[in-house]
Structure 1
């Protein structure tokens, strides 16, 4: 049984990579013991992996073999090339090849929490997974989000950045509108004046005090005007 994406070009390329992995596994198979298939179970998150190679007889494990670098590299190459924009890639794979090389099967898990016989991934590993294989919020499982332990996903960071940029634009537009208004009244002093020690730090209200500044407008008749812009803080 194989769970694959419906993309003919991808399938053709991945078939070649799958054959490379099948050949690497068959090279590991011992010649002096009875087995009818060899199976790789691999879980991967970020740069952390857990690889187990099992010898099987009638789908039952009869022994294990330590996977070599070639097997790991072939499996991770498949993982990399199966990644999809905003969907990520598989988190675990079961790949099996028959002893005589007559067939192979593969099962890919994209959303369920994999089992780990070695040390499980940490928060940094899950963050790395999203950095290497980005997923949008819709394709991040709840259990995965829990493992992030508050670390923001790329889409959340993008949204926060967009909000900050929008807020900065409002601040700039507000300042430009105030300058234009006061310029109609008199000559606007380019220097802004503010408290040496903000009253907010001594129990004063955060608004309008936190970012309060004062503008000086000269040549207003015989006087100058000193105006607070704290109430216009968006």
Structure 2
């Protein structure tokens, strides 16, 4: 272990705690601005925790374990994506981070977000069979992407959650990293990545502590 490893491992533990705090915020925040901050914070503390664990163990018998951390990340598509995403994130302006805002939908006919008043009156829909059908008349008030008031039952609408929209990332060396979990619903992809990185760094932290005994 490196001289002063106790303090460095404590720093790693704090980074892991911050990572988990931001994961909690990513899953539960109702404010879109905080959603962006949570994703950015989660990525940053994930990378920082790994760096701290590597520094604490890069001397003596533990160096072999330390040297495996980065290769282990590269072999895991989710861990590697998160690492590259963090590097890309520090070069992105806040307004450029891709966020899908909360929205209210009415079938495939209507989708609105933000704060808006809608009056739906005397509309028809032509189906695939060519038959024209009258749609229900209603008024709708939406506040922050949520139904605030409606003249028809709220169950007629679907409220979509906000989420970080993940896309492929091009690293500074030109390599392209695809979203590692495309089988997961888009609104859950970032959350699953955060859960995966959290489990991994917690497991590596326990191993590092065992090496120090």
* TM-score scaled by length of structure 1: 0.19
Q: Which has the larger radius of gyration?
A: 1
Q: Which has the higher contact order (CA 8 A, sep 6+)?
A: 2
Scaled by the length of structure 2, the TM-score of the pair is 0.21
Higher helix share: 2
